[in-house]
Amino acid sequence: MKVTLEHTTKKFPGFSRKQPDVVAVNDVSLEIPDGLLVGLLGPSGCGKSTTLNLLSGLLKPSSGKIFFGEDDVTNLPPENRGVGLVFQNYALYPHLTVLQNIIFPLQNLKGKDKLTKTQMKDKALEVAKLVQLEGLMDRKPSELSGGQQQRVAIARALVKMPRILLLDEPLSNLDARLRLQTREEIRRIQRQTGITTVFVTHDQEEAMSISDLIVVMKDGVIHQVGKPQEVYDDPEDLFVAKFLGTPPVNVFRGRIEKEQLYIGDECVLHTPGVSDREVFAAIRPEGFELNENGALTCDLQRVEVMGRDVSVVCSHVDCENAAIRAIVSADNPVNASATKVRFDIKPHKLHIFDVETQQRIALETLQ
């Protein structure tokens, strides 16, 4: 089911009358193609959960429209939207068993959709199998591990075959190991059912790893929509560049003079077609190449060996980050006792942004 948001805005009234309204989602337009797994990504307070609740119908937009396929669902209450929602804390009914929890939405069906008890049980067992919960059907939620509870919540959301599945911070209550496992699980379940799925997360790695499409939000505004790799490689503004990637991108203050990018006094890159101005230059950690005669000189602090590759930690007066992290292959020996280290910069790992607008400045010949 294709999902469309058209100029959707959600305002919450201020805490007191004197305070202004809080605009959680500001004039957002978004189209989510059918059958994809979409990650809504952003720092806390960016409006991603509000967007999810607008989709679920638990919140109504202050203005704008929401479509599921061709249906305008803007004013439909949640129960008539056909959405499955998995809450951050799962919201499993503690007094019901796993089976009763999963059957619960089916028991609400009325009229021609009404199912017999055996039909309900069959359906519940079917989704339980999908999320691999067989054998736990008679347990209470309190007798399950976090990951199992998560799967019950997904099964409960899936059992009525929703048009779209919404997950609010699905992995935030799990430990690191279970998180890796569960995100694969979510990917698999989504593939198997083919249901358009939107999930909310503040963890960029999580979003990048399983999403078909990621939506980066900040302050109620969408900054960029795209495939994870595209967004990583081609950030449209400085915020997106900074938000994606671990270790984070290294941001330098620089300037363009005669189509050359200078960081400090060093000319780092040829920038054809860019007029002279102050810029931010963001270099991915993997964008550095050790070279004794390299373009950029930094003060070496330490070298961290991580096995497969080496993390060179250094500093530079014009860098916004407290420490620059350059990740280079472990094959290259680094003289850890040196005070200076020089790098060449891979051009496609360096992005320049306007200081005022923070928008990306495109280079003419860059591929």
Partner 1 sequence: MENRNYKGWLYLLPAVLFLGVFMVYPLIDVFIYSFEEGFHSASQTYYGIGLQNYSYVLRDPYFLQALKNTILLVAITVPLSTGIALVISVGLASIKGLRKLFQTVYFLPYVTNTLAVGLVFMILFQRTPYTDGFANMVIGWFGGGPVDFIDGPYWAKMFVLCFYTIWVVMPFKILVLTTALASVNETYYNAARVDGTSKFRIFTRITLPLISPTMFYLVITGFIGAFKAYSDAVALFGTDLNVAGMNTIVGYVYDMLYGNNGGYPSYASAAAIILFVIVLTITCINLLVSRKHVHY
Residues that bind partner 1 (CB under 8 A): 56-58, 77-80, 83-85, 87, 89, 91, 93-95, 104-105, 107-109, 142, 156, 160
**Nearest distance from residue 213's CB to partner 1, in Å?**
23
Q: Cβ closer to partner 1: 78 or 147?
A: 78
Q: Cβ closer to partner 1: 94 or 307?
A: 94
Structure tokens at 273: 């077609």
Q: Cβ closer to partner 1: 128 or 225?
A: 128
Residue 315 CA, distance from chain mean position: 29
**Nearest distance from residue 137's CB to partner 1, in Å?**
18
Q: Cβ closer to partner 1: 102 or 208?
A: 102
Q: Provide the terminal-to-terminal Cα distance of the chain, rounded to the nearest Å.
A: 35
Q: Cβ closer to partner 1: 93 or 278?
A: 93
| Residue 315 host element (H or E) | strand 309-315
3-state SS assignment for residue 193 = helix
**Nearest distance from residue 108's CB to partner 1, in Å?**
5
HSE (CB half, 13 Å, CA atoms) of 289?
Answer: 12
Structure tokens at 86: 């998995």
3-state SS assignment for residue 12 = strand
**Nearest distance from residue 141's CB to partner 1, in Å?**
11
Q: Cβ closer to partner 1: 159 or 345?
A: 159
| Residue 180 host element (H or E) | helix 176-193
**Nearest distance from residue 25's CB to partner 1, in Å?**
18
In sequence order, the 6+-apart residues with CB closer than 8 A to the CB of 258 are 276
Q: Cβ closer to partner 1: 83 or 334?
A: 83
With 0-12 / 13-18 / 19 or more C-beta atoms within 10 angstroms meaning exposed / middle / buried, residue 138 is exposed
CB 228 within 8 A of CB 187: no
**Nearest distance from residue 91's CB to partner 1, in Å?**
4
Q: For residue 198, what are the β-bridge partners?
A: 38, 166
Instruction: Give me the phi and psi of 148, to 5 degrees please.
Output: -70, -40
Q: 124 to each of 100, 134, 220, 231, 324, how far by Cα in Å?
A: 9, 10, 37, 38, 52
Q: Cβ closer to partner 1: 121 or 253?
A: 121
**Nearest distance from residue 158's CB to partner 1, in Å?**
12
* Of 225, 158, 194, nearest in space to 5 by CA: 225
Contacts 24+ apart (CB under 8 A), 176-185: 178/146, 178/147, 179/206, 181/147, 182/147, 182/150, 183/209, 183/210, 184/210, 185/131, 185/132, 185/151
Q: Cβ closer to partner 1: 153 or 231?
A: 153
**Nearest distance from residue 292's CB to partner 1, in Å?**
59
**Nearest distance from residue 89's CB to partner 1, in Å?**
6
- C-alpha span between 249 and 125 (Å, rounded): 47
Q: Cβ closer to partner 1: 25 or 85?
A: 85
Task: Identify how many contiguous H helices and E strands the chain contains and give both numbers.
Answer: 8, 20
**Nearest distance from residue 58's CB to partner 1, in Å?**
6
